[in-house]
Structure 1
Amino acid sequence: MTNLTETQSIILAAGAKRPANIALPLPKGLAGAAAKMTVTRMIDQGLLHEVDADPRCGEPLWRETGDGRGTTLMVTEAGLLAIGIEPVVVQTMVAVRRRQVETPAQKQPAQRAGTKQAILIAMLQKPEGATIAELAAATGWQAHTVRGAMSGVLKKKLGLPISAKKVEGSGTVYKLPG
């Protein structure tokens, strides 16, 4: 049996009581460098596992990965065994999450033709790209709405890799690869 610190025991016990054995939030008073050190040690010992967070389910974030996604912490089978709990449910949840992470690409929703979103995507796919003013004129939206749609829907929701480049005389030109 693993020798656990009091903090580790508290984190594991609290995680075992939560749906999907999510270890977050951490106990009050455990923050910053101390939290990072404790969690890192627990991951190294195999007591916790870092998995992609599902914001639709309201899962708390441990850290952001830099690509707009975040991770959360889940108590592992070894973590449950360390506090004397049988890990049958955890095995199922870990297997499901690993399959989700290992799936190469999720199917994107079908794009309806003729929508303003479709117009934005078509203009961004042109080899020369498009400026905010051009996109606003084509959709009838104001510039801030175009920027919001590109940032929120196209980049975050659909995961499209929009690039921006300053062009002399035109301003910033936005493009989609391919």
Structure 2
Amino acid sequence: MKNIGTDNKNMNNSYKKNTTTKAIGKTTQSIHKNSQNINNKKKIQNTVPASDPITDWFFMSPSEITAKEFSTFISSLNLGEIDLWEEMDILSLQLEDKTSIDFEGLKDGFPDKKDRLFLEENGYKTVFSVTLSNDSKQTREMFNAILEHFPGGFYADTADFKPSILGRR
């Protein structure tokens, strides 16, 4: 990241550029569909270690979902301030704990062939890049609320999309 208007003498050498991008990776396993329980209640499967904060995610769903639909649902939760750019399919949320969360729709999915195969194998039609300023208890509660309302899952921005938080219907 280049700081405009700052000469190199004043730049902090310890500054690390955030270059997290979707890496080309192997998809070694398909997600196995789990059956619903007797009461048809939704369960959330969280495979993320609590001690390992992750701030770059993907939300994937077999349903076609827009940022506007996320906005409508999240507004009902009264979690914080929401900004919606409907024409760009982007939603920005600032939670009460000051964590910011950005949802950006990836209209064409992924450019990588293996990642597109992952979408196809799992029947995913919608992909959002989800960026958190902080991985907090409130963000995880919001993820769970989203997964109780929308089908799909949150996948870490890693080569194999792991860890993941999956909703079950």
Q: TM-score, normalised by structure 2?
A: 0.24
Larger strand percent: 2
Q: TM-score, normalised by structure 1?
A: 0.24
Larger radius of gyration: 1
